[in-house]
Structure 1
Amino acid sequence: MKLSRPLSWFLLAFGVWSWVIWITFVKNLWNDGSGLAFDDAGDPTAYFWVHLTLAVVSFVLGTAIGVIGLRGLRALRPTS
């Protein structure tokens, strides 16, 4: 089954968006100064671990979706 060109581009763009959003999110989580991500001793809290897990899973799924889009675009290229 071949994906359409617009759908392939959408999936690839979603993968790139995932990289930008979730890497930025993890950087912000790591540098959190509000006291939610780290306790007074500097140890990670449950909030940190839950949000890090969400970010990693979303990042992996976004990457997989982007790869599907890239493969869809490659399949649409004319062969010589």
Structure 2
Amino acid sequence: MKLTRPVSWFLAAFGIWSWVIWATFAKNLWKDSGGQAFVNGDHSQPTAFFWVHLLLAITSFILGTAVGIIGLRGILANRRAVE
């Protein structure tokens, strides 16, 4: 299957976007001072909220990376086809 140039760029951009958004989310989750992520703000006692959202972030990092790689491969294939 050959990806078109716009689709390849969209997938690569989505991979980057996913990393930016979820890295920010993970950083904010770690800094949580509202008591949802950690018991009494103690980082040695994460809550279920923390674990669920950490799992969401890790899954999104993996999927974002996979989608970004597919997009990058499409971009490179389109460049080789033009040359």
TM-score, scaled to structure 1: 0.94
Runs of 4+ in 1 over 3 A off after TM superposition: none
The whole-number CA distance in structure 2 between the counterparts of 1:32 and 1:73 is 39
Pick the aligned partner of 2:49 from 32, 47, 50.
47
| 5+ long unaligned stretches in structure 1 | none
The whole-number CA distance in structure 2 between the counterparts of 1:16 and 1:70 is 11
The whole-number CA distance in structure 1 between the counterparts of 2:37 and 2:49 is 6
Higher helix fraction: Structure 1 or Structure 2?
A: 2
What is the DSSP-based 3-state SS (H/G/I as helix, E as strand, rest coil) of the residue aligned with 2:39?
A: coil
Matched residue count: 80
What is the DSSP-based 3-state SS (H/G/I as helix, E as strand, rest coil) of the residue aligned with 1:40?
A: helix
The whole-number CA distance in structure 1 between the counterparts of 2:40 and 2:29 is 16
Aligned ranges for residues 7-22 of structure 1 at < 5 Å?
7-22=7-22
The whole-number CA distance in structure 2 between the counterparts of 1:40 and 1:17 is 32
Which residue pairs with 1:72 in the alignment?
A: 74
Identity score, percent: 65
The whole-number CA distance in structure 1 between the counterparts of 2:39 and 2:5 is 48
Which residue pairs with 1:23 in the alignment?
A: 23
**Which range is displaced more, 62-71 or 39-48?**
39-48
| 5+ long unaligned stretches in structure 2 | none
RMSD (Å) for aligned C-alpha atoms: 1.3
What is the DSSP-based 3-state SS (H/G/I as helix, E as strand, rest coil) of the residue aligned with 2:40?
A: coil
